[in-house]
Structure 1
Amino acid sequence: MPVQLNHTIVHARDREETASFLTDLLGLPTAPVFGPFRVVELANGVSLDVMRATDAVRPQHYAFLVSEEEFDQIWARIKERGLTFWADPGHQQEGRINTNDGGRGLYWSDPNGHNLEIITRPYGSGG
C-alpha cells in the first residue's frame, strides 16, 4: 500500500469550539468524540483530531482541496461570519482571493491562530 496521511492532531485552547468552527465553515458533519479528541473527518479519509492543548498553541497550517462549488459555499460562510481572509499565506492581501494554477484560493485563521486555506486546484497543477 502506498503511504497515505491518515490523521493529524490539531491542538486547540477549546476543543469543542475549534471542532465546531472547522465543521461549520467547511460544511462537514459534527465531529464525534474519540478519547481526548473531536475527530473532524474529511472526504478523503484523513481526519483532523482536535485535542485540547495543555500549553500554548503553536499555529500550524492546514490546507483543504475543495471543488469550485464548495469554495463558494465556504467563502460565503467566511464572509457571513465577518472573518478576515487573505489571498496569501503571509496575510498581506486582505479581502482578496488568489487564482493560482488557474483555480481559486484563500486563507483565514481559526480561533487558535492556525492558518487555514482552501484551494480549488493543487499547487503546480496549472498550465
Structure 2
Amino acid sequence: MTVELNHIIVPAHDKHISARFLADVLGLEAGMEIGPFVQLQVDNGVTLDFMDAEGFEAHHCAFLVNDAAFDAALQRIRATGVTYWADPFHAREGEINHNNGGRGLYFADPGGHNMELLTAP
C-alpha cells in the first residue's frame, strides 16, 4: 500500500493574499481557484489549499528546499521586508539556523501560520 499526502487545507483571512504571499516567497505560481480553495502546488505534487476562514489557530508548515531555492527565498524575504527568525519560537529575529548540517528559517504568513524553510530534514 502506498500512502502519500495529497493536500492540506490552510485557513486564511484572505485565501488569495495568503496563497500569493507564500507563492512569492517560494518562487512558485499560485494555482487556480477550485471551489472555496486557492491552491498552491509544491514540487512533490502536494497542494496547499487556502480557504477563507475566521477564528482559526495557527498551523506550522515546513518546506524542504535545496540550497539554491533557500538562497532565492531568503533574498525575496529580505527584499520585501518579511520578518524571519532562526527558531520556531521567534526569539532569534533576522537570523537563520544551521540545524542538521543545513540551513533554516521561520516566517509568519498573513494568516499568522508559522512557515519554515529548511535545507536538511
Q: TM-score, normalised by structure 2?
A: 0.97
Aligned to 1:45: 45
Aligned to 2:59: 60
Aligned CA-pair RMSD: 0.8
Aligned to 1:125: none
In the TM superposition, what is the alpha-carbon distance from 1:4 to its structure 2 partner? 1.2
Give the unaligned 5+ runs of structure 1.
Answer: 123-127
Alignment check: 8 A CA contact 1:57 1:112 kept: no
AA in 2 matched with 1:114: H
1:32-86 Cα deviation digits (max 9, x unpaired):
1111100100100111000000x31311000000000000000001101111110
AA in 2 matched with 1:113: G
| Identity in percent | 50
AA in 2 matched with 1:105: G
Alignment partners' CA distance in 2, 1:66 and 1:2 = 24
Give the unaligned 5+ runs of structure 2.
Answer: none
SS class of match (1:80): helix
Aligned to 1:73: 72
Q: TM-score, normalised by structure 1?
A: 0.92
Alignment partners' CA distance in 2, 1:15 and 1:48 = 11
